[in-house]
Chains A and B, each alone.
Chain A
Amino acid sequence: QQPVQSPQAVILREGEDAVINCSSSKALYSVHWYRQKHGEAPVFLMILLKGGEQKGHEKISASFNEKKQQSSLYLTASQLSYSGTYFCGTVSGGGADGLTFGKGTHLIIQP
């Protein structure tokens, strides 16, 4: 089952903050965040692993609540370049390594 992302879309002014949420009905091994600009490939932002380890870019932060099977991506002091669609991808247990992506959150940053 695909993770559920919220909100579906966000419009911000440059400099404002945003939080994008991702929740799953299944126990998760890891949560992955990617950003996709129109007509381009998804680009890696962050991985959060069961147990607390995180890998990602310094300017992006995220949390992973294993008990609630939820993750949140925090975008602070947003820049025009942050515009795009943000996808969370999840991996459950059992040795799987294919990501199940949510439907995405469209983020528009206005000057």
Chain B
Amino acid sequence: EPEVTQTPSHQVTQMGQEVILRCVPISNHLYFYWYRQILGQKVEFLVSFYNNEISEKSEIFDDQFSVERPDGSNFTLKIRSTKLEDSAMYFCASSGTSGRIGELFFGEGSRLTVL
């Protein structure tokens, strides 16, 4: 069964460092998302990406964050100058249709720990 894969599964970084989280969405999906979940809390929307551009972003997704689809398979989230409060599980998701009406397939997540 096709699945969304994320790397790394866990990354520890020092405050102020840059981090890149990688995702390989399901191959025929066109809509891509990043969500994050601080330990024990709700899942929060960060950004959606379609047709090689950001289609929507939340208030959390400020200038510190960026997304890119550098080739036909990878979808990356870059966090510049990480802060302690960026520590969270970051989930990538993809969908064959817009998230407004379609099922999101989540990856297993990348746990980011900022020290």
Interface residues of A (CB under 8 A from B): 2, 29-30, 32, 34, 36, 40-44, 47, 49, 55, 87, 89, 91, 96-104
B98 lies within 8 A of A42 (CB)? no
Residues in chain A near residue B75, CB distance under 8 A: none
A100 lies within 8 A of B108 (CB)? no
| A91 vs B55: C-alpha distance when bound (angstroms) | 14
| A interface SS class | strand
Residues in chain B near residue A91, CB distance under 8 A: 99-100
B48 lies within 8 A of A42 (CB)? no
A97 lies within 8 A of B42 (CB)? no
Which of B56, B103, B105 lies in contact with A96, CB distance below 8 A? B56
In whole Å, how far is A7's beta carbon from the nearest beta carbon of chain B?
Answer: 15
Closest to B47 in A: A98
How many residue pairs link A and B with beta carbons under 8 A? The number is 63
Closest to B58 in A: A98
Interface-centre pick from B57, B58, B101 (highest chain A CB count, 10 A): B101
| A43 vs B101: C-alpha distance when bound (angstroms) | 15
In whole Å, how far is A91's beta carbon from the nearest beta carbon of chain B?
Answer: 5
Residues in chain B near residue A55, CB distance under 8 A: 103
Given A2-B42, A30-B100, A91-B100: A41 and B48 within 8 A (CB)?
no
Given A102-B42, A104-B42: A97 and B98 within 8 A (CB)?
yes
| A104 vs B41: C-alpha distance when bound (angstroms) | 8
- Listed from nearest, the 7 A-B pairs whose CB atoms lie closest are A98-B45, A41-B106, A97-B99, A44-B103, A97-B100, A101-B43, A97-B98
